Amino acid sequence: MEAFSFSCWAYGSVWFFFICLGLQRFSNSAIVLTPALLVYCMLIVLLEWLCHVYLPTALGIFLLSGACWYVLGVISPRKMLPVSGKAVLITGCDSGFGQAVAYKLDSMGFQVVATVLNIDGPGAKELQQMCSNRLKLIQVDLTKPKDIQKALELTKTQIAGRGLWGLVNNAGICVHFGDAELSLMSNYRGCMEVNFFGTLEITKAFLPLLRCSKGRIVTISSPAGDQPFPFLAAYGSSKAALTRVMDTFRFELECWGVKVSIIQPGCYKTGPFNDLSRWEHQHEHHLASLPEELLQDYGEEYVSEIKRLFLKIGDMASEDLAPVVECITDALLAAEPKVRYFTGKGLWLIYFIGNHMPFFVSDRFFRGFFLNNKVIPRALHKQQKEVVEE
Ligand SMILES: NC(=O)c1ccc[n+]([C@@H]2O[C@H](COP(=O)([O-])OP(=O)(O)OC[C@H]3O[C@@H](n4cnc5c(N)ncnc54)[C@H](O)[C@@H]3O)[C@@H](O)[C@H]2O)c1
Ligand SMILES: C[C@]12C[C@H](O)[C@H]3[C@@H](CCC4=CC(=O)CC[C@@]43C)[C@@H]1CC[C@@H]2C(=O)CO
């Protein structure tokens, strides 16, 4: 009898917790009551009965909790706001995610203001041709404050009295792919100027409009800002700073009704992987800029091997950008948008190892993340050869 009362208390506690959670999410419109949700709830009741009768209490509680979390947190239909009358500004629409999401939002009926680095470039022209005449292209280099101010004035004119519903901070750049020591200070500064300072500056410039509309800020950061990917110290550091400032905006702007989300994509075949000539040029410039002593220690072959490695990553990158576009759309339209959107193959494993494994495990994992075959600097080759000869 005691065992029975314990398991009743245990199952009752799980039910009480998830019913409260469900009511809370329903009351703030995070989820909507649909026939599908009712079916899911009936299946959970059946699961609970089966667990209670056939499984040990601990296992049953674990399964029931997992099922409740999955229904409430993952598959429950979430309330979405209407598109009508919403204007959104998206940065970095020359290519990649920016171009894809500008096209998607335009096709959904948004008033899209798409900023591009080169308004006469192929990407801008292609976007204009693909989209409706609602779409407005504006040339913006995030490293130029005057461009940002001009974009603000043009946007105010474009949206008239409608207000700006969303700012999608998509523009970003990975200036260099290589060892932290071999990355030039100009590489670090180049990433920070665009990915952190530029994104922060345009966010601050447009915040008065977003506070008026109680709108959305959606920022595409990178897992390289959360985890220590090799060869991405400059880029990752700038994304880490970006993630931090956006997380601060999230809770500081809550009182204004502005919601802030961060998209963390996996590896997708976008601009950097499609513009190989840029990387060849960047590689030559980098070799010419490296201090002689560093080049001696690491060797040109090592630097070239890392470049070849980068190009191989592109071969594995996903060509389907839709999952990222869907996350951005959800962050703009969900009544209760997520704080984080993760989308990419194996990202959960990278975060599990990076966040929950001891350093001697995670360091080994990230050290070998890109390097299947051993690639070592020239000076270490010489040391290994001397050891062998001794
Ligand atoms: N592709 C991926 O695997 C991946 C993964 C994680 C995060 N990201 C991030 O996604 C965002 C979009 O990148 P993408 O992958 O679509 O690459 P992309 O190179 O195709 O797009 C980057 C966009 O930023 C613009 N841009 C670059 N420098 C700029 C500047 N100074 N001012 C204004 N715009 C500028 C480019 O013109 C381009 O339109 C970036 O912030 C990137 O860091 C990409
Ligand atoms: C940094 C890049 C975007 C992205 O961040 C990639 C990184 C390659 C490694 C990698 C693997 C992941 O699973 C998370 C994203 C990520 C860490 C990419 C190399 C070039 C690309 C870009 O240049 C994007 O502008």
Structure tokens at 387: 């050891």
Structure tokens at 38: 């009712």
Q: What is the pLDDT of residue 181?
A: 97
Measure 101 CA to ligand 1 centroid, in angstroms. Answer: 12
Report which protein residue has its CA nearest ligand 1's atom 41.
172
Question: 10 Å Cβ neighbour count for 51?
Answer: 21
Coil, helix or strand at residue 113 = strand
Residues found in the chain: 390
Q: To the nearest 10°, the Cα dihedral for 41, 44, 48, 54? A: 150
Measure 171 CA to ligand 1 centroid, in angstroms. Answer: 5
User: Ligand 1, closest atom to CA 269?
Assistant: 1
Q: How far is CA 379 from CA 183, 255, 288, in A?
A: 18, 56, 19
Q: Which of these is catalytic: 40, 103, 188, 235?
A: 235
User: Ligand 1, closest atom to CA 174?
Assistant: 43
User: Ligand 2, closest atom to CA 370?
Assistant: 9
Probe residue for ligand 2, chosen from 196, 222, 238, 366 as the CB with the greatest number of ligand atoms within 8 Å? 222
Cβ pair 286, 178 in contact under 8 A: yes
Residue-wise pLDDT tens digits, 250-301: 999 999 999 999 999 999 999 888 888 888 888 999 999 999 999 999 999 9
Contacts of 225 (CB under 8 A, 6+ apart): 236, 237, 238, 239, 240, 241, 242, 243
Q: Which ligand is nearest to the CA of 351?
A: 2
Q: Which ligand is nearest to the CA of 274?
A: 1
CA nearest to 89, candidates 139, 145, 164: 164
Measure 228 CA to ligand 2 centroid, in angstroms. Answer: 12
- Domains of the chain, start order: 1-75 (no CATH), 87-371 (3.40.50.720)
User: Ligand 2, closest atom to CA 173?
Assistant: 25
Residue-wise pLDDT tens digits, 99-135: 999 999 999 999 999 999 999 999 999 999 999 999 9
Measure 117 CA to ligand 2 centroid, in angstroms. Answer: 20
Tell me the C-alpha distance between 66 and 39, whole Å: 17
Residue-wise pLDDT tens digits, 206-256: 999 999 999 999 999 999 999 999 999 999 999 999 999 999 999 999 999
Place of tokens 């948008």: 337
Measure 359 CA to ligand 2 centroid, in angstroms. Answer: 22
Q: How far is CA 332 from CA 52, 90, 160, 258, in A?
A: 41, 12, 20, 11
Tell me the C-alpha distance between 238 and 52, whole Å: 51
Residue-wise pLDDT tens digits, 146-179: 999 999 999 999 998 789 999 999 999 998 899 9
Contacts of 44 (CB under 8 A, 6+ apart): 64, 67, 68, 71
Measure 129 CA to ligand 2 centroid, in angstroms. Answer: 29
Q: What is the pLDDT of residue 358?
A: 97
Sheet bearing 340-343, strands edge to edge: 136-139, 111-116, 87-90, 166-169, 216-220, 259-265, 340-343
Report which protein residue has its CA nearest ligand 2's atom 16.
267
Cβ pair 77, 33 in contact under 8 A: no
Pocket lined around ligand 1, Cβ cut-off 6 Å: 91-98, 117, 140-143, 170-173, 194, 198, 220, 222, 265, 267-268, 270-272, 317
Q: What is the pLDDT of residue 210?
A: 98
Pocket lined around ligand 2, Cβ cut-off 6 Å: 172-174, 222-224, 229, 232, 235, 266-267, 272, 313, 344, 347
Which residue type occupies 107?
S
Helix intervals (H) in 117-144: 122-130
User: Ligand 1, closest atom to CA 223?
Assistant: 6
Q: How far is CA 111 from CA 125, 167, 232, in A?
A: 18, 12, 35
Measure 33 CA to ligand 2 centroid, in angstroms. Answer: 38
User: Ligand 2, closest atom to CA 224?
Assistant: 17
| CB-based burial label for 119 (10 Å; 0-12, 13-18, 19+) | middle
Global pTM value: 0.90
Task: Give the model's confidence band at 370: pLDDT under 50 very low, under 70 low, under 90 confident, else very high.
Answer: confident
Cβ pair 101, 168 in contact under 8 A: yes
CA 220, chain centre distance (Å)? 4
Tell me the C-alpha distance between 277 and 145, whole Å: 29
Report which protein residue has its CA nearest ligand 2's atom 23.
174
Q: Please confirm, yes or no, whether 235 is among the known catalytic residues.
A: yes
Task: Give the model's confidence band at 373: pLDDT under 50 very low, under 70 low, under 90 confident, else very high.
Answer: low
Contacts of 143 (CB under 8 A, 6+ apart): 193, 194, 197, 198
Return the axis-axis angle of helices 122-130 and 96-108, rounded to nearest 10°: 20
Report which protein residue has its CA nearest ligand 2's atom 7.
267
Tell me the C-alpha distance between 48 and 267, whole Å: 39
